[in-house]
Structure 1
């Protein structure tokens, strides 16, 4: 059963409201999309951050937290995770689905970037494994949320919330917020999805984004100081950069602004201060000499901040 929502974040927010109450704990992978952190804070939920490496979470830590019932619900993304860019392996996705069933731990799967796994990468969501291996009447709920905003355009606010369970409580919450979602974009999108154009666009977009990410990553490695570390991006449009010598990302952010260069400091991706030495760079625009020059400036600013310590 499916509800159309105004983007993926509304779908996730409706799910959080239904599966938890103010004051209860919601677990997330960290570093985490800042918009989700803000939404959880505004909903009055306690946030439990589960640290992730470049290939995903420590599964033993996740299992222990599930076994201890340390949270009411877990929000996670398996494909092109923002900001790290990892894709969870099939084995890890299967294990998460199995653990959720074993410990009756509800999941909210945020699949906003699900179409943006690069060619050759697994792009099946966790919910697909849960439906194959468990009796849905006995399993913990997995609410599947997604959107066309990332694959098409950010202004195209058509998302969804899907569940194998009773959809009525989610509909009531949707009605209490904004009644419905605009129908004309849905009709236009439906026509596009029935054509061959959408799949051709996605296949082309994956290749374009992978090339842009490679150009950006190579430029960072060329121009940033020794000790800078990059994760291996498997999907999406972001590069996660760990600055050398635990340099504070907010210092680089402020210095970059003076040169009209925009980046996302790690502070906005963790409320527990777990990403203060990292930055997120975007590859959502075509690579150009201007963008290369901006990376050169960022590298020089980083070197200057290191010398000034």
Structure 2
């Protein structure tokens, strides 16, 4: 598939270990690509570089063939963008702002804009200055989607939304995905990423840790089970068995294994000689992957 967004060796160093360092990845046409990491990990810096608001010290970004720094104006006209920090100009009401945005984008038919306003229950006649955080976020969502752009770039797009409106946003993203739009978003809400993304990149302290494909956390994968042992010696003995162990904890004598459904009979036969305290099925979610694989890998680097 055609690569619509390409990021190559991107570095923006603010000093004292802050910034992003040697990021490289690409996003294909029609793909929804997510970015997740803790506060300060580099999500917003990455997106600001993509939109041409800041210039990297090294590396290059192209979006639909345009250089993110040299062709920033063209990118801003063709890409639907939701910033992480929303600060509207003093132009009156939400309606006033959206009409100015429509003029900038050359939108004559405002029917889709009005559909989005209804969808998100946005009081667009309210003063921008007096809008709540959630209302500002809705206005930014309408502004980003109303031209139905082929590419959308969003920095924490559900910030300030209540659960119902967050579901509406997910519905909107999936609707655009079905139309073949290319979408890049950062989020701290794992379910939001799980529901929408084909791939998710994990970043930590400004460095790319891993890129996870959807197949790695969908339900049709191998299952994982958490097993607790009553006797430490038996726990140690089971570790020598030929099972794929994802995590283990000697303090509590428990571990998590990954196993295919076809091997469940073998597992239960293997466990018969042991005193088992519990065995629990563990859903293999994106959040589990982050907290148990990514975070632990990073911690071990400093031990």
TM-score (norm 2): 0.31
TM-score (norm 1): 0.30
Structure with a larger share of its residues in helix: 1
Structure with a larger share of its residues in strand: 2
Return the index of the structure with the highest Cα Rg: 2
